[in-house]
Amino acid sequence: MKTIRLRIAYDGTDYAGWQIQPNQITVQGEVEKAIEELTGQRISILCAGRTDSGVHALGQVASFRSDFNIPPNRWRPALQSKLPAEIVILESNEVPEDFHATFSAKSKRYRYVIYNSVADHPFWRRFVWRISQNLDAEAMHDAAQTLIGKHDFRCFESHWPNKATSVRTISKLSIHRMSDWNLWSPEHTSDQRSETRSEFICLEIEADGFLYNMVRTITGTLVNVGRGTWEKSDVERILQAQDRKIAGGTAPACGLYLAQVYYDV
């Protein structure tokens, strides 16, 4: 019996999220169906992060155990042949028996992409949040720094409580304009060329875990700073108040990506 790890990218627009749900098309459901078609075995797979309806992934990680006679690196093309075009297996490999896609993860990084343009674009509508009003990305970045560290983030969690604790540790959080944006690159955008006049604004956030709608609510809150409605002190006040009602709105799912998951393996 081998433990197989998959790295997966997907366009989540037409899916009801990652997790299997009754009478819904989900990413997990499609991958498990592909495994069953290939092996004849019904296998439940684990994932690093259960992305919500409409959310995308550049580097989702899944794991499962199987005794099917196929080399670990061949799972990638074998499964791809049975998956819809919106779901792409980027990599497959064997990992230690005790590897767990969820609990073995040390941290995860999400990306939120805003298309800050007066005119819409037909090819970006499924993948970004378009905001026509000019945003101050530098002010957003400065305000975002107040969120770095270990805090109770219940003010950014929808339908609190969803977990045993809402305390999380954000290790990195940056917001900047990008002169160009590579949709398929999971690499941190801070390593790419930035430009003050670009129409793309990327939020990159890495933490040891995330609450329900946490990234999208943080984005909605910081967008109010970018609009000039709020200041850095307002973000600090919201964090201290621990009240979801006074934070910003929930940004649309279409601009959110699970970019990368980090493991010791």
Q: What single-letter amino acid sits at 251?
A: A
C-alpha to C-alpha distance for 22 and 167, rounded to whole angstroms: 31
Q: Find tokens 């042949």 and name the residue.
A: 81
Q: List the structure tokens of 79.
A: 């499964």
Residue 235 is predicted with a pLDDT of 97
C-alpha to C-alpha distance for 156 and 221, rounded to whole angstroms: 9
Q: List the structure tokens of 124.
A: 């970006």
Q: What is the pTM of this model?
A: 0.93
pLDDT digits (tens, 9 = 90+) for 212-237: 999 999 999 999 999 999 999 999 99
CA distances from 162 to 74, 217, 255 (A): 38, 15, 23
Domains 2-95 and 107-262 share a fold: yes
Least confident span in 10-14, 139-143, 196-200: 196-200
| Residue 94 φ/ψ, nearest 5 degrees | -90, 140
CATH number for the region 107-262 comes to 3.30.70.660
Q: Which fold has domain 2-95?
A: Alpha-Beta Plaits (3.30.70)
pLDDT digits (tens, 9 = 90+) for 122-148: 888 899 999 999 999 999 999 999 999
- H-helix or E-strand spanning residue 232: helix 232-241
Q: Which positions are annotated as active-site residues?
A: 52
Least confident span in 18-22, 160-164, 243-247: 160-164
Break the chain into its structural domains and give their ranges.
2-95, 107-262
